[in-house]
Amino acid sequence: MQAGRIKLRFSRSSRLQRAAEFKLVRAFGKTWTGTHLIMAVLYREADLPSKIGIVTTKRLGRAVVRNRIRRRIREIFRLNQHQLRRGHWVVMIARASSACASYQELERDWLRLAERASILRPKPHGPNPADLTQSV
pTM, rounded to two decimals: 0.80
> What are the pLDDT digits (tens) for 93-129?
999 999 999 999 999 999 999 999 999 888 766 565 5
At 34, which CATH number?
3.30.230.10
Handedness of CA 130, 120, 45, 78 (dihedral sign): negative
Q: How many domains does the chain have?
A: 1
Question: Does residue 133 belong to any structural domain of this protein?
Answer: no
Contact 5, 17 (CB under 8 A): no
Question: Does residue 129 belong to any structural domain of this protein?
Answer: no
